[in-house]
Structure 1
Amino acid sequence: MILLQGRFPPEIRTLLTFATSEKNVEREFNLYNESSVRKLYGSTIEGHLVGCIGVEFLGPDKGEIKHIAVLPQHRGRGIGDKMVNFIKDKHSLSLIYAETDKDAVYFYEKFGFKITSLGEKYPGVERFQCILLTE
């Protein structure tokens, strides 16, 4: 895993569009560069960026996954799991929080997160709260 802050490799734009809208990519990336409580990491295979995970620290041992994405051709290979384990271990997180849509619920559920529906947070879009206690 590599820290992506300060650099904006072209692949990060593609990856972040899987986790946020295309119009928000620059703003979100800039937040990682400007915030002392956010970190953005990349996962590589043979030197190519294939995944990213962004976390915001909510306290000394608590973090919120803000963005997580893996290129479609590399999904199903455990890259997402490795990225979550990386931030959990590197930052000694005892609680990891995420909010997601229906498409990603299975990923978080499979990993062991407790899933709770937040209802229709945006018109026509159901959102889910995902919480993992690691202690």
Structure 2
Amino acid sequence: MLCSAPILTPEIAALLGRAMFPDPERMVRALEAYRTEADRKVFVWMVGGEPVCAAGLRVAGPEAEVLHIGTRLDQVGRGFGHELLRGIAASLGLSQLTAETDEDAVGFYRRGGFEVRNAPNRGERRRFFCTLSLER
């Protein structure tokens, strides 16, 4: 079940943290942006009343950028991330979802129907732009 997350509980912050660079200061700044910036939204996929997947987005009208998405380790591979993104898109009436990611997560976006193209590398890490066009 899709839910908007008006409050970042520790459980939701931990899910988002799974997709963040493991630098405590950067994580604090990113989580604070979800609390303070009007264009940042957090959504959660709940199962049995428990959050199992969370996504943080930057929303701009009919388009949104996935900034972070993380699933509980014991729930990975069950499709909750894809269901969450599709639910968000439908709920917000989005025409496009985008994401920039690395080799660790590009397969997730490919399996979700995103078009993937190369992005400029950051240091030694390959990067990818992912785009999902949606009918409104």
Could you say whether these structures have the same fold, taking a TM-score greater than 0.5 normalized by the shorter chain as the test?
yes
The unaligned stretches of length 5 or more in structure 2 are none
Corresponding position: 1:57 with 2:64: no
Q: Deviations over 1:93-123 (max 9, x none)?
A: 1111100111111111111111011142x21
Cα distance in 2 for partners of 1:4, 1:134 equals: 23
Give the % identical residues.
Answer: 30
Cα distance in 1 for partners of 2:114, 2:8 equals: 30
Aligned residues: 132
Cα distance in 1 for partners of 2:93, 2:102 equals: 26
Shift of 1:21: 2.4
More displaced 10-residue stretch of structure 1: 97-106 or 12-21:
12-21
Cα distance in 2 for partners of 1:9, 1:62 equals: 26
SS in structure 1 of the partner of residue 104 of structure 2:
helix
Cα distance in 2 for partners of 1:3, 1:25 equals: 20
How well do the aligned residues superpose, as a CA RMSD in angstroms? Answer: 1.4
What is the identity, as a one-letter code, of the residue corresponding to 2:54? Answer: C
Within a 5 Å distance, the mapping from 1:81-92 to structure 2 comes to: 81-92=82-93
Shift of 1:8: 2.9
Conserved 8 A contact 1:16-1:25: no
TM normalised by structure 2 equals 0.89
Q: Deviations over 1:24-55 (max 9, x none)?
A: 23221211121111110112222222110111
Within a 5 Å distance, the mapping from 1:1-135 to structure 2 comes to: 1-5=2-6, 7-22=7-22, 23=24, 24-58=26-60, 60-120=61-121, 122-135=122-135
Conserved 8 A contact 1:13-1:25: no
Displacement over 6 Å in runs of 4+: none
The unaligned stretches of length 5 or more in structure 1 are none
SS in structure 2 of the partner of residue 19 of structure 1:
coil
What is the identity, as a one-letter code, of the residue corresponding to 1:32? Answer: Y
TM normalised by structure 1 equals 0.90
